[in-house]
Amino acid sequence: MMLEKLLELTLEGMGYELVDVEQFSRGKLLRVFVDKKDGITIDDCVAISNHLSRLLTAENIDYGRLEVSSPGLDRPLKKESDFFRFIGETIRLKLRIPLQGQRNFVGVLREVNDGILKLEVEGKLFDLDMRNIGKARLVPKL
């Protein structure tokens, strides 16, 4: 089973959401970003880390160090469900292929429908194909 799928299923069973996984070969660092509706605490990270350490050992997955963290205030948006969850929030995204000569957008996410995002930028609505999104993150509210 692929590592990401294994982590996703395991974390879902624990009541968490897998946001992202980063692997670095030099120090064999495995970094796992998790979230849940009411946010992540240090105790959550400790519990997840302990559980995943045992799981990775049982599955013979070679890693040197495991880090478990919240995705932060500027959480990345990767899956369609991420975009649904954050409708009404301000997001920053970069397109793979420019739209009207523009690749970078910051605006309010208004709608998600059949893989198309409606993003309001300075009063103007843009329809953006999710397949064209290179990166997307929440803009933190400070």
pTM for the predicted model, two decimal places: 0.81
Domain that holds residue 49: 3-69
User: Which CATH number does the domain housing residue 15 bear?
Assistant: 3.30.300.70
Q: HEC states along the chain?
A: CCHHHHHHHHHHHHCCEEEEEEEECCCCEEEEEEECCCCCCHHHHHHHHHHHHHHHHHCCCCCCEEEEECCCCCCECCCHHHHHHCCCCEEEEEEEEEECCEEEEEEEEEEEECCEEEEEECCEEEEEEHHHEEEEEECCCC
For residue 24, is pLDDT > 80? yes
On whether both 36 and 87 belong to a single domain, the answer is no
Number of domains in the chain: 2
For the chain, percent of residues with pLDDT exceeding 70 = 99
Residue 52 in any domain: the answer is yes
User: Which CATH number does the domain housing residue 100 bear?
Assistant: 2.30.30.100
- Encode pLDDT of 66-99 as tens digits: 999 999 999 999 999 999 999 999 999 999 999 9
